[in-house]
Structure 1
Amino acid sequence: MQPMEIASYLMVVVYVISFLAMSAILAKEAGRPVWLFGKGAERQALPALLFKLAFAGGVLWPLGLAAFGNPARADPLTAWLDGPWFDVFGHLLVVIGACIAIISQRFMGASWRIGAAVGEQGPIVDGGPFAISRNPVFVGQALLFTGLFIVLPNLIQAALTLALFVAIALQVRIEERVLAVSLGAPYDDYRRRVRRWVGKR
Structure 2
Amino acid sequence: MSPIETVCSAIVLVYMALFLILTARAARASGQSFWLFGKGSESQALPALLFRLSFVGVAFYALTALVLGDPLAAPVHNALDGRFGDLVGAALASAGAGLALYSQIHMGRSWRIGAASGQLGTIVRTGPFAFSRNPVFVGQVMLFLGLALALPNLIQFTLSFLLLAAVHRQVRIEERVLEGDLGAEYQTYRREVRRWI
Q: Same fold (TM over 0.5)?
A: yes
Instruction: Tell me the amino acid that sits aligned with residue 78 of structure 1.
Output: H
Could you list the per-position Cα deviations for residues 25-49 of structure 1 after superposition, in whole angstroms to 9, with x for gaps in the alignment?
1112222110000101111111011
Distance 2:70 2:138 in 1: 30
Distance 2:57 2:107 in 1: 26
Which residue of 2 is the match for residue 138 of structure 1?
137
Distance 1:112 1:88 in 2: 32
1:70 is displaced (CA, Å) by 3.8
Could you list the per-position Cα deviations for residues 156-178 of structure 1 after superposition, in whole angstroms to 9, with x for gaps in the alignment?
11000000000000000000000
Residue ranges of structure 2 left out of the alignment (5+ in a row): none
1:71 is displaced (CA, Å) by 5.1
**Which has the higher mean CA deviation after the structures are superposed, 128-137 or 59-68?**
59-68
1:128 is displaced (CA, Å) by 0.5
**Which has the higher mean CA deviation after the structures are superposed, 22-31 or 98-107?**
22-31
Which residue of 2 is the match for residue 91 of structure 1?
90
Matches within 5 A, 1:21-40: 21-40=21-40
User: Cα distance 1:68–1:152, how it changes in 2: closer, same or farther (>3 A)?
Assistant: closer
1:78 is displaced (CA, Å) by 1.2
Distance 1:69 1:78 in 2: 9
Which residue of 1 is the match for residue 184 of structure 2?
185
Which residue of 2 is the match for residue 103 of structure 1?
102
Residue ranges of structure 1 left out of the alignment (5+ in a row): none
Q: Does 1:164 align with 2:168?
A: no
Q: Number of residues paired by the alignment?
A: 196
1:72 is displaced (CA, Å) by 7.7
Instruction: Tell me the amino acid that sits aligned with residue 84 of structure 2.
Output: W
1:61 is displaced (CA, Å) by 1.4
1:80 is displaced (CA, Å) by 2.9
Instruction: Tell me the amino acid that sits aligned with residue 31 of structure 2.
Output: G
Which residue of 1 is the match for residue 50 of structure 2?
50
User: Cα distance 1:140–1:72, how it changes in 2: closer, same or farther (>3 A)?
Assistant: closer
User: Cα distance 1:29–1:69, how it changes in 2: closer, same or farther (>3 A)?
Assistant: closer
Matches within 5 A, 1:118-157: 118-157=117-156
Distance 1:154 1:8 in 2: 14
Distance 2:14 2:23 in 1: 14
**Which has the higher mean CA deviation after the structures are superposed, 60-69 or 88-97?**
60-69
Distance 1:110 1:35 in 2: 13
User: Cα distance 1:79–1:68, how it changes in 2: closer, same or farther (>3 A)?
Assistant: closer
Per the normalisation by structure 1, the TM-score is: 0.93
SS of residue in 1 equivalent to 2:133: coil
Distance 2:100 2:192 in 1: 21
Structure 1 stretches of at least 4 aligned residues deviating more than 4 Å after TM superposition? none
**Which has the higher mean CA deviation after the structures are superposed, 168-177 or 21-30?**
21-30
**RMSD of Structure 2 on Structure 1 (CA):** 1.4
Instruction: Tell me the amino acid that sits aligned with residue 103 of structure 2.
Output: S
Per the normalisation by structure 2, the TM-score is: 0.95
Q: Percent identity?
A: 52
User: Cα distance 1:177–1:70, how it changes in 2: closer, same or farther (>3 A)?
Assistant: same
Distance 1:100 1:106 in 2: 10
Which residue of 2 is the match for residue 67 of structure 1?
68
